[in-house]
Amino acid sequence: AVLGIQQQPFAGVRLLITAGPTHEALDPVRFIGNRSSGKMGYALAQVLTELGAQVILVSGPTALPAPPLARLVRVESAAEMHAAVMERVGECDIFIAAAAVADYRPELQASRKLKKHSGNIDLRLVPNPDILAEVAARNPAPFTLGFAAETEALEANARAKLNNKGLDMIAANLVGGAEGGFDRDDNALLLLWGDGQRELPLMPKHQAAREIARALMQRYVTST
Ligand code: CTP
Ligand code: CA
């Protein structure tokens, strides 16, 4: 009985979380993708369901098992992820964009396997919709937490994304180095919001998810 409310601070809160990479098809057997493992988004889904939240996890292709308490919606491309999110975002209180959405897709998708020729191939890429920016621009919008994957100028780049996309919070991490990020089990993060920030040192992604959930709860409660 001493457990109860304290342990379920997210009871009754509906979350929509994106996770993983997206795959942008070139033809039926090839795609353009990225090194995201999906671990951060899945860890958040796991931790938040344990804290009582109702979680829908919209996931690009990953090798991870479904978090037992979340509803998993599997997608491949950014366009599919966009559609899956827009279909459900009206019924969520908090939107977390942990996916590494491809910024571009091939303009043309061959319906048959591309054959090799001698010489070069020119590949034209066209921009994908920014799912997070579109969610944050809705009226009313859910509370939004984004991620920022950066190889440099972490704080400045992340704060620019927070402001430009009109987010409530952003979790920034350095990628492409030894510090954590893509395709790893641990991560060092900088959490930023309108008038504050908090540094999370290198720690396992499950622990980082717990810390993010704690900060998220504080900011979410103040915003409502
Ligand atoms: N994001 C999204 N849809 C996209 C691109 C990004 O929802 N088409 C979300 C990501 O899930 C992340 C945030 O936007 O939460 C920032 O993604 P990131 O790739 O770091 O930034 P971009 O805004 O895409 O800018 P850039 O890649 O040029 O740094
Ligand atoms: Ca991007």
Q: What is the pLDDT of residues 143-171, one digit of tens each?
A: 999 999 898 999 999 999 999 999 999 99
Q: Average per-residue pLDDT in the chain?
A: 93
pLDDT of residue 118: 87
pLDDT above 90 coverage of the chain, percent? 87
pLDDT category at 1 given cuts 50, 70, 90 is: very low
For 50-106, the pLDDT digits (tens) are 999 999 999 999 999 999 999 999 999 999 999 999 999 999 999 999 999 999 999
5 pLDDT more than 80: no
Pairing of strands 24-27, 30-32: antiparallel
Tokens linked to 216: 């998220």
Tell me, yes or no, if 34 is annotated catalytic.
yes
Across 116-131, average pLDDT = 94
Residues in contact with ligand 1 (CB, 6 Å cut-off)? 18, 78, 97, 99, 101, 103, 128, 130-132, 146-149, 161
Are 162 and 169 in contact by the 8 Å Cβ rule? The answer is yes
What is the residue with the minimal CA distance to atom 28 of ligand 1? 103
Tell me the best of 103, 169, 173 to mutate to test the pocket of ligand 1, counting ligand atoms within 8 Å of each CB and taking the most.
Answer: 103
Q: Is the pLDDT of residue 4 over 60?
A: no
Q: Which atom of ligand 1 is nearest to the CA of 129?
A: 8
Overall average pLDDT of the 190-205 stretch: 95
By the 10 Å C-beta count (0-12 exposed, 13-18 middle, 19+ buried), 161 is classed as buried
The pLDDT assigned to 174 comes to 85
Is this structure's pTM higher than 0.90?
yes
Neighbours of 122 (CB within 10 A): 4
pLDDT of residue 3: 54
